[in-house]
Amino acid sequence: MNEEQFFQALNDQGIALNDTQIQQFETYYQTLVEWNEKMNLTGITEKEDVYLKHFYDSISAAFYTDFSSESLSVCDVGAGAGFPSIPLKIVFPHLKVTIVDSLKKRITFLNHLADQLNLTGVAFYHDRAESFGKNAKFRETFDVVMARAVARTSVLSELCLPLVKPGGLFMMMKGADIEEELKMGEMATKALGGEFMRTDQFKLPIEQSERHIVQIAKKRQTPKKYPRKPGTPNKDPIES
């Protein structure tokens, strides 16, 4: 997906980028490639691939839920090089974005990136999601918590749902063949106060690979015992 195709594909979804946003995506790409030579941020570095598989794919979340609210707070768990929240922040500058990632080098990159893009209303934390979710300052405070290709549903629910405020939304961005995974994650989702709301399927333009956006509504407060200590959700997931 070249830049013109990227702009047109977003335009087809009702998202028109201004000159500042177009330049921000170009700067994002250049910064990502430059820093990727020093640290492993992504295996995808060809420009057309980055625009399709990182930028467009990240923004696809906005095709299925409304990010236009002026006061919306978004937490991105395990964002790596900033996906999906930084592309969304470029498109929706009013978003209040918090990223938590367990690798300090990624947080260093994200702080530099935010400076390069002149972003405000962003905060980056070097922490494990399990510890972050126990922190009273952040627990159950976010309108939307997102995770893209981080872990399976039963694990992600324990990492993310404790951060969603009751009445808020947990969004998982997934690839193909997720039916069995969602079924296995149902017990964890309910135990942590969530309920499956909807799953949307689409195909990435050009390469036609399958994607799913899974939305889970936060219906009840998460029991205080969750999340468990770091590493436990992955080793011993809550599964039916």
Annotated binding site for S-adenosyl-L-methionine: 78, 83, 129-130, 148
Helix (H, G, I), strand (E, B) or coil at 24: helix
| Beta carbons within 10 angstroms of residue 105's beta carbon | 14
Query: What are 93's two structure tokens?
Result: 């500058």
Contact 192, 163 (CB under 8 A): no
CA atoms within 13 A on the CB side of 50: 21
How many angstroms separate the first and last alpha carbons of the chain? Answer: 40
State the Cα–Cα distance between residues 86 and 88, nearest whole angstrom. Answer: 5
**Phi, then psi, of 166 in degrees rounded to 5:** -55, 130
State the Cα–Cα distance between residues 222 and 139, nearest whole angstrom. Answer: 9
Annotated binding site: 78, 83, 129-130, 148
Q: Length of the chain in residues, anyone?
A: 240
